[in-house]
Every structure is written in structure tokens, then in C-alpha cells.
Amino acid sequence: MSKTESITYDVVVIGAGAVGENVADRTRAAGLTTAIVESELAGGECSYWACVPSKALLRPVIALADARHTPGLSQAVRGPLDAAAVLAHRDDEVSHWKDDGQVRWVEGISADLFRGQGRLAGPRVVEVAGPDGVSRRLTARHAVAVCTGTDAALPRLPGLAEVRPWTSREATSAQRVPGRLIVVGGGVVAAEMATAWQALGARVTLLVRGEQLLDRMEPFAGELVTEALGEAGADMRTNTSVVSVTRENGTVVAVTDAGERFEGDEILFATGRTPRTGDIGLDTVGLKPGSWLRTDDSLRVTGHDWLYAAGDVNRRALVTHQGKYQARIAGNVIAARASGRTELESGPWGAHVATADHAAVPHVVFTDPEVASVGLSLAEAEQAGHRVRAVDVDLSTVAGAGLYRDGYRGRARMVVDLDREVLLGATFVGPGVGELVHSATVAVVGQVKLDRLWHAVPSFPTISEVWLRLLEAYREN
């Protein structure tokens, strides 16, 4: 006979990924008793199947490309990457998919970790079916926070399950390099994994349904990444949809809407994300299972004064750093409301309203070249009704770029609100530009006037000097 335990906490967090951990960290710092429920590994998607392993695969790719374009060093790096060493390093970075370190962190903040599937069972109640056969009923005095993230979304193709396709998880955790890899998709995961596996020795075919790669960013971003992937040997087809997939004698065969047939050893579908809310008991609190959770700017789920949702699951911004930002705010809000405060003050270190999700979400695509952006693209700004102007600079004209890499190719754009003369967005494409995006984020969030930005003097000779060139181009035109 199964045993049931009932325990009461101030806060119950469903999901022990980076987002859930940050909620718990804030609520524990405020003195609230906190339980975290996790069905897989503490540390979550980012630690084991997304951010960390993907960047561990990509860092050697970028470093080798930089070395091959550095006079005096290029002759010393003639050979290919040591794929086995790259994969071994990746395995070390994800702790070989063991979460002992993350568990110690949870214990270190004096939160309680419960293993098993957590499901809502009515307002403020979470039931956990543990692997030890014990069912636990956790009741929250103040709040439940859903931080379950997303799963890969797969298309509805007949027989797809029998093909055993890769999703982002298999793409970042594979233990061998496939001879031929078909990548279906045109977003960040598709671009990054095509870059990584092509450099590790796979022959990559990239099938993009839209007109170009990275089509949610400035057009030149996808153009420059596409050009680089082609030079690396990848075969990319745009305006191409896969209509059937089979595995024949171990070989994957993908057929497109144009009747073209592509063969590979593995196929990766990087075709979007879906909320991981199908089996967490949403129906017990009047919400639809499998749905995104809509929240207000305090991260409270619409219509529920005790339920919060942070991270990808609320669809505000599907990137880890924004999820952690939301988590810190949610934790602050829960603590404030638990103390009886109805008016939520917002201090410099205790924000209670998530505004960055609306205007200043930074992104970095770790391809070669890198793509970094924040805020609105030109098209998005125009669609929103702003009177704007785009200012472009060829990054190869900046002295620091030429020193960074021989034959540097790249481009920068800032989108200026002409009525207020502040930045609405910025995009950089080129080697090493990921480190530029935070300065742009500060400018967008701070709504810094362009005439004030003139006094933020970039160091010479660095790629950051592009800021001076952008301001000059704006003044001259």
C-alpha cells in the first residue's frame, strides 16, 4: 500500500532548473520555507541539454576559426578539431549528467528538494509521486511557482517516432559525430547545431522552411551566418518543408514538398518549443493542460493570486537569462506579498516588476560569425508605430575588428527612435560580438540619449569602437 505524507511550506516551486532555483533562492533569502520539486535533474535544461553543452560544443569551433584567421597562428592549426576531446570536455561541463553539485546547492540554501513528478491538486497544493513509492502532498501557505520550461516541438509527420529523430537534447548530448546530419529548422538551435556538427566532421544539410536563416532578427544576420555555413561546407535549402521522414536500413530519408530526397545518418528537428505543462495538474485550478501560462508583470498567473510562472513556460522571452531575471522578480514579489505588502516597491536590488521582457531582451547566437541583438529590429520598430531610423556600420572598418581576426566580416545596426533620440534596438554580427550586447542592453534599458552616448568613450583598439562609428554615421546623415 502506498504511503502519503502531507507537508506545509511557505512556497512550493515546480521545476529545479535555473529558473526554479532562482525563485527558491530569493524566497529562502526572505526567510520563507521553500520546497522544490524536480522530475529529472536539478539544474534543468540549461545545465544539461541546452546552454552549457551547446556552448561547450561551439567554443572550440569559434576558437579554431579565430586561430585560422590570425597571422602567425594560422599555420599552427592546420588540422581538424579533435571531436573526441570536444565531446569529452562537453561531458565534463555537464557533470556527466549527474546533478550532485546542484543538489548540494539546493541544500546550501536550506530548501527541500523532492524528486518526482509534481502536479497541482487544487489551489496551493502540489502532489509529488516520488521514486521511493511515497506520495507527498505539499501545501503552500503563500505561493506555488511553476518553472517547468519547455520541450522541443516536433511536427506531425507520419512515422516520425519510428525514425527516432534528434531534438535539441540529442543534438547537445550525442556521443559520436554522425557522418551526415540533416537539420530541419531555421532558428537559433538549427543555426548553432549546424555550426557545431559541421565543424566536428558531419556533413550537414540544413532545411529551412522560411526564406532565410534567423528570420526573426535583422536580415543581414541570417545572410552572414548562411554565407559562413556555406563556406564551411554545409548545404542549406530555404523555402523547403519536410513532408515525410523514414529510416531505411539505418539511413534517414527526408522528402521535401518539392519532391527532393535527402539522406542522413541522423535528423535534427529544431522546429520550436512547446510548454511543459501537459501533466502538471493545470485542470485542477481551471487552466488548460499543455497551455502557456499568461502572467502579469509581477509574474503572477492571470486570475490566480497564489500561482506564479517564470521562465520559458510563460512565453514572455524564451531564453535562460530572462527566465532567471523573471525568477528573481517572482521571488521578490512572493516574499513582499507574504509579508503583507500590497504596494510593491521597486528598489535598485529588489525589482518587483518585469519590464525588460517588453523592451530589452538580449540574444546571442553562438555561430561563426556570432549574432548579438537586443530590443527591436527595424521591422519590429516600424510595425510598432515608432518613427525610426536604422544606422548601419561595416564592422570591418573598425580597427579592433581587423586586429581580432584577419579578413574580419561583420555588420552593426542601431535602431533609433527619432522622436526621443534613444535606442530601441541594436544588432551586431561578426566574430566576438557577443560581448558587445550588454553595452547595447544598458543603452536600451536606460533610454540613454544619443547626445549622452557620445560621452561613453570606447577603448581603442577594440571592437567596441563601433559605437563611435554608429554615432558618427547617425550625425552625418
> What is d(CA 252, CA 170) in angstroms, rounded to the nearest whole number?
15
Which phi and psi angles does 241 have, rounded to 5°? -115, 140
Q: Which CATH architecture has domain 369-476?
A: 2-Layer Sandwich (3.30)
Fold of 3-43+99-151+275-356: FAD/NAD(P)-binding domain (3.50.50)
115-129, 154-168, 342-356: which range is least confident on average?
342-356
Quick one: pLDDT at residue 130? 84
- CB burial of residue 148 (10 Å; 0-12, 13-18, 19+): buried
Q: Which whole number is the average pLDDT over 362-382?
A: 98
- CB burial of residue 179 (10 Å; 0-12, 13-18, 19+): exposed
> What is d(CA 15, CA 275) in angstroms, rounded to the nearest whole number?
13
CB atoms within 10 A of CB 121: 16
Which helix H or strand E contains 243, and what residues bound it?
strand 242-248
Quick one: pLDDT at residue 1? 44
- Helix axis angle, 83-93 to 51-68, nearest 10°: 140
Record the pTM.
0.95
The helix/strand/coil state of 307 is: strand
Own/partner pairs for 264-267, CB < 8 Å, 24+ apart?
264/178, 264/180, 264/181, 264/182, 264/205, 265/178, 265/179, 265/180, 265/181, 266/165, 266/166, 266/170, 266/174, 266/178, 266/180, 266/181, 266/182, 267/163, 267/165, 267/166, 267/181, 267/182, 267/183, 267/184
Q: Write the CATH number of the domain with boundaries 152-271.
A: 3.50.50.60
> What is d(CA 388, CA 421) in angstroms, rounded to the nearest whole number?
9
- CB burial of residue 286 (10 Å; 0-12, 13-18, 19+): exposed
- Give tens-digit pLDDT for 188-198: 999 999 999 99
Has residue 344 got a pLDDT over 80?
A: no
**Nearest alpha carbon to residue 373 among 437, 446, 444:** 437
> What is d(CA 294, CA 17) in angstroms, rounded to the nearest whole number?
20
Quick one: pLDDT at residue 420? 97
- Give tens-digit pLDDT for 255-294: 999 999 999 999 999 999 999 999 999 999 999 999 999 9
- Give tens-digit pLDDT for 104-123: 999 999 999 999 999 999 99
CA quadruple 227, 229, 234, 240: dihedral sign: negative
324 CA to centre of own chain: 11
- Give tens-digit pLDDT for 1-40: 467 899 999 999 999 999 999 999 999 999 999 999 999 9
Quick one: pLDDT at residue 347? 56
Helix/strand/coil percentages in the chain, nearest 5:
35, 25, 35
User: Domain spans of the chain?
Assistant: 3-43+99-151+275-356, 152-271, 369-476
Name the more confident of 345 and 390: 390
Mean pLDDT of the chain: 95
Quick one: pLDDT at residue 84? 98
**Nearest alpha carbon to residue 174 among 46, 93, 54, 40:** 54
> What is d(CA 302, CA 290) in angstroms, rounded to the nearest whole number?
16
Grid cell 521562465 in the structure block, residue: 311
443 CA to centre of own chain: 22
Answer yes or no: same fold for 3-43+99-151+275-356 and 152-271.
yes
Peptide bond preceding 178 in cis form (omega within 30 of 0)? no
Beta strand 180-184 with 203-207 is parallel
Name the more confident of 135 and 342: 135
CA quadruple 294, 275, 290, 216: dihedral sign: positive
Quick one: pLDDT at residue 350? 62
Grid coordinates of 26:
530569493
Quick one: pLDDT at residue 470? 98
